[in-house]
Structures are given as C-alpha cells and as structure tokens.
Structure 1
Amino acid sequence: MNNRAEQLKAFDRLLTIMDELREQCPWDKKQTLESLRHLTIEETYELGDAILAQDLVEVKKELGDLLLHIVFYSKIGSETNDFDIADVANDICDKLIHRHPHIYGDVEVDNEEDVKRNWEQLKLKEGKKSVLEGVPKSLPALVKANRIQEKVAGVGFDWEEPHQVFEKVKEELAELEEEIHEGNSNKIEAEFGDVLFSMINYARFLKINPENALERTNKKFIHRFQYLESKATEKGKKLQDMTLAEMDLYWEEAKRISNN
C-alpha cells in the first residue's frame, strides 16, 4: 500500500490533470454541474454493482470514476469562486469532528446505536427542522424507506423487539388481503405499500439490508431464467412453445445447480 506522501502525490496529479482537461478538452470544457449529475448517479450505481459482485478490481476503478466527479464538481465551483476541493475537504472534516464528540470531545457512548442517536440529535441542533430533511427526494423508494426508518429510529421512534415488527407485517398483510377482496385498486396499492414498508422495517431488525436482499434475489432469478432459456435453445424450442411443466423442470434443475 502507498504511504501518505504517495497518496497526496497521486491526488495532486489528479487535480493537475483536471485543470489541464478543463482548459484543453472540448468535452470537459463544456460540462456543468447539471450535465455531470446523471453521469455521477450512473457511476454510483456501477460502484454499487461492483460491491455486490465483490469485485475489488472493479470497486477500485469505480471509486476512481467517482473521485474524478468530485474533483470535477470542485473545479467548476472554483471557477465561480463558490468553493474548491479544499473547501469540500475541510467542510467534511469539520462535520466529522463535530458529529463525533465521543472521539473529539467528552461525550461517552456504549455502542453503535448511541453514535447514531447522537448524530441525528446533533443535526437537529445544527438547525435542521426535521430528521428527515437529509433523505434525498430522488432516492429509489425502497432505499428511501430504509433511510427514513433508520433516521427516525435514531431519535427513538422505533419498535422495541423484532417480534413486534413481524406482528405489524402480518397485520399489514391482513389489511392488504381485505382490500383485495373489496377490489378497490387505490386502496390495494396503499396497503401494498404498507406491507413493503413494514417488511423493510423488519429487515432492519434482522440486520439485513433490504436493497441488497432484493438485488440478490434479482440476480438469482436472472441466473435461473437464463438457464431455462439456454435449455430451451438446446432443445430447439422457444420458451413460449414450452409447457409450464417443462419450464418448471429446468427451473428446478437451475436451483439444484446453483444450490440456493
């Protein structure tokens, strides 16, 4: 691993390259905060994919892409004298020191949950009117639900035991079933949302990340379905020409092969 001097030298090299690209490259010269935004979101998802795949070579590459974006935004900010990379770095350093009084002050904590509670309380003292202000509006709904629940739990609005949350899941399922019998699509959608929200909450109590859990199932389904497609091709058939019984046979075969 590189020592601190080498790390700083590498970062200085990136800053120099960014300066040169902004001056000389037609594409880089044209970019704005707004034009980079969707690319940054895409790069973040690519990093997420690499992490889930446990591909550390790709993780390193995607971190580089994200780091470039941070440097790029900071360069644009420096051109309007609003902020530069030093301001960005110093702001996060100041925030980390302020939000960790158990490290940089005299506050004592017993565990991770104490740290989370202190974090949310400090944010309210900083002037935030709601603990939910920090949840981005554009987050995917599943991720947003998880963050909402984590944040309100940080100020004590939470269940005490996992079994209580599971009872809530069953209660929401019963309400969904009732609305399905009634046939009101608007109410069915509302109750379905409640079921999902309660399941995400239960995942938190089980110490499972619901986004990761769902993506794991997505990948498992894709693998099995593609196995089914390959078997159909081997037999010279189209999927739509196969019976459900035939498809189920290969589906079960795929499950045995993947062993999960």
Structure 2
Amino acid sequence: MSPAIDRLLDIMARLRDADGGCPWDLEQTFETIAPYTIEEAFEVADAIDRADYCGLKGELGDLLLQVVFHAQMASERALFDFAAVCEAICEKMLRRHPHVFGEASAGTPSEVVRSWERIKAAERQAEASAAALLDAVTVPSALDDITKRLPTLMRAQKLQRRAAGLGFDWPDARAVLAKLAEEIAEIEAEMAAGGEPARLTDELGDLLFTCVNLGRKLGVDGETALLHANAKFERRFRALEALLDDAARQHRRTASLDELEALWQAVKAAETDEPG
C-alpha cells in the first residue's frame, strides 16, 4: 500500500492501542461508529452539491477514516483487516466489469447497467443458495441485499428499481400520476373519517412511496429532488424572515398569515432564475 495509507492505518492502530491510545476511540464499537459513517457520507454528498472541491478532499478523508476505523476494529477481533476490504472490492470490480477486464462487451452506459444488474442477480442467487444450505426455511428474495440503514427515500428507490427489474412496475409516469391521485383521495377519506393517527401514517407512507415511484419513472432522483426542495425552502424562508424583520421594525407588530403569504410570494417573484 502507499505510504499515506500505511500512515493512516498506523495512526488508527495507535488510537485503538489499549496501552496509551485514545479513551474515546477505544470505547467505540461497530454500532457506535456506524452513525458517524452515515453522517460522513452525507457530508461528502453535501460538498459535491455545493461544488466545494477543496472541502470535498477533507470530507473524503473523513469518510476514509470511517472505513479504516471499522477495519481496525474488525482486525482486533480477527474478522478481517483493511487489506481484505481492499481485496474484496477489487475482486467485485473485476467481476462486475467483464466488458473491461474480460471478454464481454458493453458499448453504452445503459448496457453496462444491465450487465451490472445481471451479475448482481447471479451473485444474489448464489448467496441465497448458500444460505439455503444453512437454513432451509429461508425464502430468498430479490430485495435481500438492500440494507435497511439507507436513508428512507433512497431505500424506497432501490426497492422500486429492484422490483421493476423483475417486471413489477408501472408502464409509464402517467400511470403513477393516477395512483398518486388515488392515494391523495385515500388520505382525504381518512381525514374525513376522523384522522386516526395509525391510518394517516399508513396512507401518508403510501403517498410518499408513490411520489418516489413518479420520480423514478420521470428519471428524477427523489433524494436529489427533496434536497433541492429543502434548499429552496430554506433560502426563501430566510429571505422572508429578512423582509419580516424590516416590516416588524417599521410597524412594531406581528405579521398575519395573509401578510406572510404576500411576503412569500414576493420572495418567489424575486427569484427569476428558478421555476417553482
């Protein structure tokens, strides 16, 4: 490995050394570090979204540290080490890119994706067969390897894509729009019936899941769409607060809902470079 990687591994091992290591690092486990790993991945995505490539270098380093941290803890328990992690991903990349490292051909990105999914399906089948030898009761599923720790929106997209790969899918986006109208009607019916919390939760979940399906059929990533919607709302609300602060200083009173809505529309009108 490179000197820089070796140095990082040495630093991590020193931090976890029972003789003089860091008390905080020493008490960590896979379970306690996992939330930090997820957080660092999101910070990488945030740096990319902001085109902060100087910051991206640091965020990628933080994410790499998470991999090294997990590998160190695994090594201490004689499970695997960092070299084994690297070897495993190397083997996976070789196996899943036969058009580069083998005799297969794939001339377009879509052909690569189809090849990748076929290879993954074969891997899942092999894993399911191995698991069946250990547990004859287990029924293998195409959804087995989709982790439950993904962000909810992202996991919904993966579940839908996997099911679509088996032919369980809407014919087009317009069909999903019809389903969306149906789900809204069901929420309205629940509200009219008194809005029992468990039922509303169930119906709202169906509505959100259908929205993700609509985005998928339109070729829009739901996670990215909601990220942009959050940023747009935050930007506009901050602008509204600035206008409201000016108005409050002038009139010494609290704005009504109608006045807030008028300020909101003014903020939207001022954003001539962005629809919605």
Question: TM-score, normalising length from structure 2?
Answer: 0.80
Q: 2-side partners of 1:19 and 1:193: how far apart? A: 44
Counterpart in the other structure of 1:68: 65
The aligned amino acid for 1:98 is R
**Partner of residue 25 from structure 1, selected from 14, 21, 28:** 21
The aligned amino acid for 2:232 is K
The answer to which of 91-100 and 111-120 deviates more is 111-120
Describe the SS at the equivalent of 1:246: helix
Q: Deviations over 1:225-253 (max 9, x none)?
A: 11122222223459981112322232122
Counterpart in the other structure of 1:249: 262
Counterpart in the other structure of 1:122: 122
Question: TM-score, normalising length from structure 1?
Answer: 0.84
Q: Summarize the alignment of residues 202-217 of structure 1 with structure 2, pairs less than 5 Å apart.
A: 202-217=214-229
Offset at residue 70 of structure 1 (A) = 0.7
Offset at residue 135 of structure 1 (A) = 2.0
Count of aligned pairs between the two proteins: 254
Q: Which has the higher contact order (CA 8 A, sep 6+)?
A: 1
Q: 2-side partners of 1:140 and 1:233: how far apart? A: 36
Q: 1-side partners of 2:28 and 2:190: how far apart? A: 50
Query: Structure 1 pair 30/190, CA: closer, same or farther in 2 (3 Å)?
Result: closer
Contact in 2 for aligned 1:120/1:155 (Cα 8 Å): no
Counterpart in the other structure of 2:85: 88
Provide the alpha-carbon RMSD of the alignment. Answer: 2.7
The reply to whether residue 200 of structure 1 matches residue 196 of structure 2 is no
Offset at residue 95 of structure 1 (A) = 2.0
Contact in 2 for aligned 1:43/1:62 (Cα 8 Å): yes
Q: 1-side partners of 2:3 and 2:184: how far apart? A: 57
Q: Summarize the alignment of residues 131-146 of structure 1 with structure 2, pairs less than 5 Å apart.
A: 131-146=142-157
Query: Structure 1 pair 81/64, CA: closer, same or farther in 2 (3 Å)?
Result: same
Q: 1-side partners of 2:186 and 2:212: how far apart? A: 17
Counterpart in the other structure of 1:4: none
Describe the SS at the equivalent of 1:241: coil
Structure 1, unmatched stretches of 5+, are 1-6
